[in-house]
Amino acid sequence: MNVLVKKNDRVKVLTGKDRGKNGRVLFVDKSGRRVIVEGLNIVKKTQRPTQQNQKGGIIDIEAPLHISNIMVLCPKCDKPSRIRKKTLEDSGRVRICGKCGEILDKV
């Protein structure tokens, strides 16, 4: 199944501990159907000392969210909506907002 979320999309989290918060997509894993959203779903991870980090310790990182738990925010109506694909007359395909029909970008 196609993943209609892209990197740098603004999304809203629908479920989980960060429900209702907005963020920007940093990474999309198409095969695992997961995304990493900036500043959301923060978990603690222990890290061993390395050459770059001499101390090591406990760090905070963003954990992946399943793609079904987020919705893309339309830049025009600023509401979470489903994303559709549409073919234009010049044989180009674009992503559009399901609510207002605004063109998001080319596929």
**In the chain, what are the domains?**
1-73 (2.30.30.30), 75-107 (no CATH)
pLDDT digits (tens), the chain, 107 positions: 678 899 999 999 999 899 999 999 999 999 999 999 999 999 999 999 988 878 889 999 999 999 999 999 998 888 999 988 988 888 788 999 888 888 888 77
Indicate the Cα dihedral angle 82, 71, 21, 59, nearest 10°. -160
**Bridge partners, 98 (sequence order):** none
Q: What is the 3-state secondary structure (H, E, C) of 1-58?
A: CCCCCCCCCEEEECCCCCCCCEEEEEEEECCCCEEEECCCCEEEEEECCCCCCCCCEE
Write down the pTM of the prediction: 0.83
